[in-house]
């Protein structure tokens, strides 16, 4: 259910269940967690892109499992819902959204570090329409990427918004033409991969922790990261490449 392809330094992860609008079942959840394990373990891969096959990113939880009482199979021990929403990761992961990302599908996109979307994308947390709540991170993450009143309106009404609106409000990092979300996300990943991978991962770690920290705590984390990087080969390679007027040759160590 999860396809794994390599594009240079980037892993492309595709939820391949289009007949069910890429809804999450046991195979999707376990497959996505395994795909992230593979990305994290491969030193030659520095970033990932996550997308959905067909016309949807993901419809979220498979409601047939809810109805049958088998909803526990949509969760994994480390990643929780879909094997991703609480999964600890070190490498940047970009959601490429070219269709609906609703309910748990929106929460999967929010669990990624960046979102690239087209005008055909739709984001929303319609759980209240089914007497559910967005318990897979949506309640916590959506108000952090949208103005509070907008996030509250979406969560309380179950309304959705398109990719253009999400981009204008800051939820989407880059807006691309319809049908080109994966292409645009891979291009963004290439721009990230052009940088020193250990510095990118340190920056990502601090960005994730920032929401729960004071300014002084985040400042101290930045200084600590600099001390750690100063012991690496890439730390010396960056200035050397600048002085020698050549592209840096990052080693990831």
Domain residue spans in the chain?
Answer: 2-193, 197-243
- Which range, of 71-75, 84-88, 121-125, 128-132, averages the lowest pLDDT? 71-75
**pLDDT, tens only, 166-199:** 999 999 999 999 999 999 999 999 999 999 999 9
What is the distance between the alpha carbons of residues 126 and 133, in angstroms, rounded to a whole number? 8
What percentage of the chain reaches a pLDDT higher than 70? 97
Instruction: Please provide residue 113's backbone torsions phi and psi, each rounded to the nearest 5 degrees.
Output: -85, -30
Active centre residues (catalytic)? 107, 127
In which element (H, E) is residue 124 found?
A: strand 122-124
Instruction: Tell me what the pLDDT averaged over the chain comes to.
Output: 93
Nearest-5° Cα angle at 49, 238 to 63: 150
Question: Mean of the pLDDT values across residues 52-79?
Answer: 84
Among residues 96, 95, 94, 98, which one has the least CA distance to residue 178? 98
**pLDDT, tens only, 4-56:** 999 999 999 999 999 999 999 999 999 999 999 999 999 999 999 999 999 99
Specify the CATH superfamily of domain 2-193. Answer: 2-enoyl-CoA Hydratase; Chain A, domain 1 (3.90.226.10)
Among residues 5, 9, 98, 86, which one has the least CA distance to residue 52? 98
Q: Would you state the pLDDT for residue 67? A: 65
Question: Mean of the pLDDT values across residues 90-118?
Answer: 98
pTM for this predicted structure: 0.94
Question: Mean of the pLDDT values across residues 70-88?
Answer: 88
Among residues 170, 182, 205, 193, which one has the least CA distance to residue 248? 193
What is the radius of gyration, based on Cα positions, of the chain?
19
DSSP string over 7-51: ETTEEEEEE--GGGTT-B-HHHHHHHHHHHHHHHH-TT--EEEEE
Q: Would you state the pLDDT for residue 69? A: 66
């Amino acid at each position: 259910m999860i396809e794994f392809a390599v594009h240079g330094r980037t892993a492309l992860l595709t939820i391949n269940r289009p007949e069910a609008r890429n809804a999450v079942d046991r195979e999707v959840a376990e497959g996505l967690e395994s795909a992230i394990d593979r990305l994290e373990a491969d030193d030659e891969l520095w970033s990932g892109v996550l997308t959905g096959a067909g016309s949807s990113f993901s419809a979220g939880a498979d409601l047939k499992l809810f109805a049958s009482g088998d909803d526990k199979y949509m969760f994994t021990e480390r990643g929780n819902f879909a094997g991703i929403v609480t999964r600890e990761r070190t490498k940047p992961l970009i959601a490429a959204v070219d269709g609906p990302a609703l309910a748990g599908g929106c929460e999967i996109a929010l669990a990624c570090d960046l979102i690239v979307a087209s005008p055909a994308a739709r984001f929303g947390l319609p759980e209240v329409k089914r007497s559910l709540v967005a318990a897979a991170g949506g309640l916590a993450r959506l108000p952090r990427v949208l103005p509070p009143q907008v996030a509250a309106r979406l969560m309380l009404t179950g309304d959705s918004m398109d990719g253009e609106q999400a981009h204008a409000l800051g939820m989407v990092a880059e807006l691309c033409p319809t049908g080109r979300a994966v292409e645009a996300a891979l291009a963004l990943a290439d721009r990230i991969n052009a940088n020193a991978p250990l510095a990118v991962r340190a920056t990502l770690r601090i960005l994730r922790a920032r929401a729960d920290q004071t300014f002084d705590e985040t400042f101290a984390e930045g200084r600590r990261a600099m001390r750690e990087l100063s012991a690496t080969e890439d730390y010396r390679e960056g200035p050397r490449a600048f002085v020698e007027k050549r592209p840096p040759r990052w080693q990831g160590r």
